[in-house]
Structure 1
Amino acid sequence: MSKSVVITGRLIISIDKRSTVSIGDHVVLNSVVSKNSLEARGPVIIKSLSPSARIKIGPETGITSSTISAMIDVTIGARVLIGSGCIITDSDHHIVRPQEGRSRRHLGLPAAEPHHAVMIEDDVFIGARSIVLKGVTIGRGSVIGAGSVVSRNIAPNTIAAGNPCMPVGKVGE
């Protein structure tokens, strides 16, 4: 871990010993309700799903009671704020085509599953209970409204919200 990482409450780190997790300076990982303006319902969870997984959390980022999981790569930039109850993942976490998965498992092979890196650029705010799905880039300076499901890229300096998450304005307008 880097210097001055602040952990308040519960933190669960579940990583393969061969995967890479890096946490920048002055990151705050919070799961204590008194340290958040809304709430904190559970631990911060950082989880790798494969030996080659990479999770990078940039400096001065704050995360409250959220889950970050990577099969390949999840990168979170500097000064990002992630609200309570968010999920950020680069994986489907299940077999997309059940019949294909069953036959592969029967042969002793891992189930085929598409994975695509997630990139959250610097100075992004992600509202409580949002979900950021595989293959998404959220551009620098953007704001994601609470409860959004981000399944497509969000351009820099964009205010976006909803399910599916769609642009609703520009930061600074």
Structure 2
Amino acid sequence: MKKLKVWLLHQRFFYVLMGLKYYVGNNIVARFPNERLRAMYLRRVMKVAVGQDTHVSMRWFVTGYPVRANVTIGNNCVINREVYLDGRVGVHIGNNVNVSFQTCILSLHHDHNSPDFIAVGSAVTIQDHVWIGARATILPGVTVGEGAVIAAGAVVARDVPAYDVVGGVPAKKIGERNRDIRYLTKFSPYFDSDIFDETAG
């Protein structure tokens, strides 16, 4: 009985520490004006894979399971302010992806038909050169194809084919994007703003 109590105490202490890690990251570090420090915390403490020349704005919110958030972000991406990344099952973002402010990317939710309200989910995959508009929501299990565009405010519940433009609730195809995409995103603004030196190499 004594051993069980000690084990339970250790378990509780572990979860308190892991919760504190996310609390500090999302509520303190995410508000630091120094981008290098924010990126270091994401990589080393929250175990988020962040690629080269990728900008993660201030006031992000990352969640995951205790040891690590299952989130990978490729090279030359922009994750704008107040983006919610649900790393409990997984969020995998390719290269040159632009995620606008207040986007919500979910990998876990509840089955509304379950008597026990069970959690269900699947990883979200966002392929290269995707542009996600402000306040869009992407639901668990969705794959957004290369070069696709998610319009502002869209709720994406199904896979989006490459180079499709989708919008609305639920999101439906509203157009197609030019396939000749060559840009590399390079965006690193000062403080919590959209001000940066566009001439910098």
What's the TM-score once normalised by structure 2's chain length? 0.63
1:143 shift after superposition: 0.7
- Structure showing greater radius of gyration is 2
Is 1:25 equivalent to 2:42 in the alignment? no
Amino acid at match of 1:165: A
More strand by proportion, 1 or 2?
1
Cα distance in 1, alignment partners of residues 35 and 137 from structure 2: 22
**1:70-149 pair list within 5 angstroms:** 70-92=87-109, 94=110, 96-97=112-113, 99-101=115-117, 112-149=118-155
Q: Percent identity?
A: 27
What's the TM-score once normalised by structure 1's chain length? 0.72
Structure 1: runs of 5+ lacking an equivalent: 1-5, 32-42, 102-111
Runs of 4+ in structure 1 displaced over 4 angstroms? 50-53
1:147 shift after superposition: 0.3
- What value does the CA root-mean-square deviation take over the aligned residues? 2.9
Structure 2: runs of 5+ lacking an equivalent: 1-33, 180-201
Q: Do the aligned partners of 1:54 and 1:72 also contact (CA within 8 Å) in 2?
A: yes
Q: Which of 163, 167, 176 is the matching residue for 1:161?
A: 167
How many residue pairs get aligned? The number is 143
Cα distance in 2, alignment partners of residues 90 and 115 from structure 1: 5
Q: Do the aligned partners of 1:52 and 1:72 also contact (CA within 8 Å) in 2?
A: no
Cα distance in 2, alignment partners of residues 50 and 134 from structure 1: 20
Amino acid at match of 1:68: L
